[in-house]
Amino acid sequence: MVDRIKELIAYTGLSDRAFAIKCGLKQNTFSRQLNGLNEVSTQTALSILSTYPEISAEWLLRGKGEMLLTSEQPTSAEDRMNKLIDTITFQQDTIKNLQARIKELEAELIINNNQRNIG
């Protein structure tokens, strides 16, 4: 369970201390549990699940299933769609940047041609 709690902490982006405070846990006790010095208590698990209702109790306690409850996690189709949207957005930005660079180079080419014709 310790590894799953550490995974959850990483998911939240909080430090161990901030996570403990948010869950209403004593930092010393929680730290000892995370380091394997003490067993993770039922109270710790309940506090985590109360603070993060989107977390699957089955996953936290038994390691079965997914971390997030089904209603909270994107489906694979939604996930693919989000990745596609990100890719399209990135490509659009790249195209805009390249178009701007092309215009700059065309302007430089015109200036160079005019200078060559004058000289």
**Concatenated DSSP letters of 34-46:** HTTSSPPPHHHHH
Q: Where are the domains of the chain?
A: 2-62, 74-119
Q: What is the pLDDT of residues 58-108, one digit of tens each?
A: 999 999 988 888 655 556 776 777 677 778 877 888 899 999 999 999 999
- The conformation of residue 67, written as its DSSP 8-state character, comes to S
**Which are the contacts of 61, defined by CB distance < 8 A and separation ≥ 6?**
1, 45
Is it true that domain 2-62 has CATH number 1.10.260?
A: yes
Report pLDDT for 87. Answer: 81
Report pLDDT for 32. Answer: 94
Amino acid found at 58: E
The token pair at 95 is 């195209």
Report pLDDT for 100. Answer: 94
| Residue 8 to residues 31, 79, 84, 105, 109, Cα–Cα distance (Å) | 15, 20, 27, 50, 56
Q: What is the pLDDT of residues 28-65, one digit of tens each?
A: 999 999 999 999 999 999 999 999 999 999 999 999 98
Report pLDDT for 74. Answer: 54
pLDDT of residue 6 exceeding 80, the answer is: yes
pLDDT of residue 10 exceeding 70, the answer is: yes
Instruction: Output the pTM of the full model.
Output: 0.56
